[in-house]
Amino acid sequence: MAYGGKRLKGAMKDADRSGAAYAVILGERDLAAGSAQVKDLAAGDQESVALDALTTTLKERLSR
pLDDT digits (tens, 9 = 90+) for 5-28: 678 888 888 888 999 999 999 989
Domain ranges of the chain: 8-62
Please check the confidence at residue 4 and state whether its pLDDT lies above 80.
no
What is the chain's percent helix, strand, coil content, to nearest 5?
45, 25, 30
Could you tell me where the beta strands, DSSP code E, fall in 1-64? 22-25, 35-40, 46-50
Q: Kindly tell me the sign of the dihedral angle through the C-alpha atoms of 48, 9, 58, 28.
A: negative
Q: What is the pTM of this model?
A: 0.84
Q: Write down the pLDDT at residue 46.
A: 96
Give me the percent of the chain exceeding a pLDDT of 90: 67
Bridge partners of 32? none
CA 54/CA 4 separation, integer angstroms: 22
Fold that domain 8-62 belongs to in CATH? Rossmann fold (3.40.50)
Of the pLDDT bands very low, low, confident and very high (cuts 50, 70, 90), residue 34 is very high
